[in-house]
């Protein structure tokens, strides 16, 4: 990376580490805080280890940083108990849940939506630069990964809740009595990603004169012969 491009990611790394330490000093539930931060810590470590070989854009690092900030707040309080209603009342004099007609703490919904909205672009950058995804595939594949990893995370939550049980399992799962909680979380992440990628596509369509040609080319059949048994026959000749 060029020297001028390292300043922002290093600054963001320092800030998120400091924030993680500060919010980890006295979290509401220490065991849940540890569970919540396992995947986040692995993600940050992965970004650090691959920094020189695969530096993301400053935009991607900023989006990832924003998501991690939201996550760290949720990990400190547990997602079901983030007191955003109290904060909003101090600022606006009214409670946000009452204003919007919410009956539950929806901070987890916000973070699931943010997972898709904020991380779809870094995922797109990865597909475009590594897999050379173009046109339709440069938008569909990041959306697909957001949806599939959201499903995987819900399975991890379920497994952890089954393994630990009790208050820790309930705090980590955070369903708040909603039997469709996992489905709604996956939907929020999918909607966030779809919105982000739609915005990216609109920007590219406006700025890139080859947008439509590249989109059409990405959907053209490049190899007309079938695979499967046809490919096996061809390889055995």
Q: pLDDT of 191-205, one tens digit each?
A: 999 999 999 999 999
Domain assignment present for residue 236? The answer is no
Name the domain count of the chain: 1
pLDDT score recorded for residue 171 = 58
Domain assignment present for residue 99? The answer is yes
Domain assignment present for residue 57? The answer is yes
First to last CA, the chain: 47
Q: Which has the closest alpha carbon to 174: 71, 53, 94, 45?
A: 71
Domain assignment present for residue 179? The answer is yes
- Residue range of the domain that includes 20: 3-219
d(CA 20, CA 27): 10
d(CA 71, CA 128): 27
Taking 70 as the pLDDT cut, the residues of the chain under it are 1-4, 165-177
pLDDT score recorded for residue 176 = 67
């Amino acid at each position: 990376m060029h020297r001028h491009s390292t300043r922002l990611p290093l600054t963001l790394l320092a800030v998120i580490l400091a924030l993680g330490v500060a919010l980890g000093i006295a979290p509401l539930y220490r065991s849940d805080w540890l569970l919540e931060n396992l995947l986040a810590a692995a993600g940050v470590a992965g970004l650090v280890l691959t920094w020189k070989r695969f530096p993301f854009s400053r935009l991607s690092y900023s989006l990832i940083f924003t998501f991690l900030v939201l996550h760290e707040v949720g990990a400190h309080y547990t997602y079901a108990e983030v007191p955003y209603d109290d904060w909003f009342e101090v600022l606006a004099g009214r409670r946000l849940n009452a204003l919007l007609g919410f009956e539950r703490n929806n901070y987890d919904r916000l973070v699931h939506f943010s997972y898709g909205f904020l991380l779809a672009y870094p995922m797109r950058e990865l597909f475009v630069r590594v897999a050379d995804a173009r046109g339709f595939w440069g938008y569909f594949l990041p959306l697909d990964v957001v949806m599939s990893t959201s499903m995987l995370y819900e399975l991890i939550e379920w497994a952890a809740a089954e393994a630990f049980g009790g208050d820790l399992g309930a705090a980590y799962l955070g369903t708040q009595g909603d039997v469709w909680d996992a489905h709604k979380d996956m939907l929020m992440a999918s909607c966030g990603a779809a919105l982000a990628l739609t915005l990216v596509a609109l920007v590219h369509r406006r700025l890139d004169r080859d947008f439509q040609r590249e989109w059409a080319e990405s959907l053209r059949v490049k190899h007309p012969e079938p695979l499967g048994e046809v490919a096996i026959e061809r390889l055995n000749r």
